[in-house]
Amino acid sequence: MNIAVICETSAADRNKDILAALDGRGHRIINAGMTQNGASPELTYIHTGLLAGLLLNAGRADLVVGGCGTGQGFLNAALQYPNVCCGLIQNPLDAWLFGQINGGNCISLALNFGYGWAGEVNLRFIFDRLFSLEQFGAGYPPHRRESQQQSRRTLAKISADTHKPMAEILRTLDESVVRPALSYPGIAELLDVDSIADPTLQAALRSRM
């Protein structure tokens, strides 16, 4: 699995904790935003939400791990984009149920609020539970499996029907949102625009980079 870690400015100091908690699980980790405090340009949850949408829609990440001070800002920002199913994850049971029932592709962590003693241990336990699943979106409890899987498919269709395509969003977003996100070190190389399969998304990205 390709996992993109995207921290925003208020949670930049937690980047190393997330990377440590993900280490050794056999996944490819892409450190994609605010890898350290004071990095430039400064990315808020507005910018990291856009990056989450871009990386998922461009097929560069299978799962995005993001967050902010409370987790609420990144959650709401990421959900503005198509094909993003994001959950606010605060403990291991949240992680397990979100993966088991919702089968999401993006998690938002509270990285300052309530992040106290053993906060980095809680992160490790969260990923232990999330990656213990044999199948994302399998459903729980078992007798509701089919109903919940149908709900997940319905939600994906609702997302497609209620959002503009990613390429159209890119063409109309304000420069103050797009420029910091796309100019952050390493993002252009990660997106590798020339190899994106969707020609409309490829053209939209070229016009903004």
In whole angstroms, what is the distance from residue 206 CA to residue 202 CA? 6
Question: Are 190 and 55 contacting, i.e. CB atoms less than 8 angstroms apart?
Answer: yes
| Predicted local distance difference test score (pLDDT) of residue 39 | 73
All structural domains of the chain, each given as residue ranges with its CATH number in brackets, are 2-208 (3.40.1400.10)
Residues of the chain whose pLDDT is less than 50? Answer: none
| Predicted local distance difference test score (pLDDT) of residue 146 | 92
Strands (E), 13-143: 28-33, 63-68, 86-89, 106-110
In whole angstroms, what is the distance from residue 150 CA to residue 148 CA? 5
Counting residues of the chain whose pLDDT is more than 70, the rounded percentage is: 100
CA 152, 28, 208, 180: dihedral to nearest 10 degrees? 100
Name the strand (E) or helix (H) holding 5. Answer: strand 2-6
Entry pTM: 0.94
Question: Are 123 and 110 contacting, i.e. CB atoms less than 8 angstroms apart?
Answer: no
pLDDT in tens, 123-159: 999 999 999 998 999 999 989 989 999 999 999 999 9
Question: What residue type is assigned to position 56 of the chain?
Answer: L
> Mutual orientation of helices 45-57 and 175-183 as an angle, nearest 10°?
70
Question: Are 64 and 36 contacting, i.e. CB atoms less than 8 angstroms apart?
Answer: no
